[in-house]
Amino acid sequence: MITPVLAEVMLERNVGNRTLRYPAVEKYRRALRDGRWQITHQGIAFDKDGILRDGQHRLTAIVDEGRDARMVVTFGIAPEAFAVMDTGSRRTAGDVLEINNRGGGRDLAAAARCILVSKGANPRGKRPLDNDEIDAFIRDTPDLVRFFELAAPVKGTLKAGIGLMAGLYLVHEVAKPTTMMDFMNKVRTGVGFSDKRDAALALRNGLISGTIACRYPLMMAAATVLAWNLWCRGRPARAASLRWNDLSFPLPERA
């Protein structure tokens, strides 16, 4: 068991390590705080001279969070081994989903990440999310997988990014199924509009023309929610008016 006091002692042997990356420390702190800390083969490593070679971020998180944590501690590694530590391919949330036999893989993980960030206090901030947070969210939200399958034709028809799916799911959480399907089908097909300034049509046109940036999932999700809100109110819209400029993420209206 590594206590905060022991972690401080270990960090005194942290000589010549890489610059501390505070986002990484914060990820470990959240894992400790939320009870998601897991014992893995990765932990703390000291070389044969007693110098800390691996684990400074984990140890710093233990000190800053003031919580104990169980970890594997290795002693006596060769100093030259430091050159090959943490150089492998990073496992993504999509990889975790596939390993855990969850269909959808990368797209589902990206949509879940977008949804989680949109519900955060600062969606424009770069709050790092752990893979197990995303996996747990999908596991605890089976409705997301079902909706993903239902809405797949919309994404396929428009060749839109994953942000559209995330935005539609946020709408789906508060909308009546029939109203939601009407909106989604109009965005997908581009037919059934009596007004060329219809917000659903503006969303569709913006996705096709690239006015709404498909490369940025959060912006696309916000544009989808903004289009939904205008569509529910019966207000006209242009694709350019669906750009998200506020600090707070828009909330979908109930309809």
Alpha carbon distance 98, 254 (integer Å) = 34
DSSP string of 11-50, one letter each residue: HTT--SPPPP-HHHHHHHHHHHHTT-----S--EEEETTS
Q: Provide the 8-state DSSP code for 175.
A: S
> Is 229 inside a domain boundary?
yes
Q: Provide the 8-state DSSP code for 164.
A: H
Amino acid at 7: A
Are 177 and 105 contained in the same domain?
yes
Alpha carbon distance 220, 243 (integer Å) = 8
Are 97 and 159 contained in the same domain?
yes
Are 107 and 140 contained in the same domain?
yes
pLDDT in tens, 61-119: 999 999 999 999 999 988 767 655 664 445 455 555 554 545 556 788 888 888 988 88
> Is 255 inside a domain boundary?
no
Residue of higher predicted confidence among 65 and 126: 65
Q: For the whole model, what pTM was predicted?
A: 0.66
Are 141 and 43 contained in the same domain?
no
In this predicted structure, what is the pLDDT of residue 121? 45
Domain end (from 34, 53, 84): 84
The whole domain housing 36 covers 4-84
CA distances, 5 to each of 63, 65, 69, 203 (Å): 7, 12, 12, 55
> Is 201 inside a domain boundary?
yes
Are 123 and 238 contained in the same domain?
yes
In this predicted structure, what is the pLDDT of residue 90? 52
pLDDT in tens, 157-197: 887 778 899 999 999 999 999 999 999 999 999 998 888 89
Are 77 and 102 contained in the same domain?
no
Nearest residue to 181 (alpha-carbon basis) of 195, 171, 196, 191: 171
Rounded mean pLDDT, 132-143? 84
Are 101 and 227 contained in the same domain?
yes
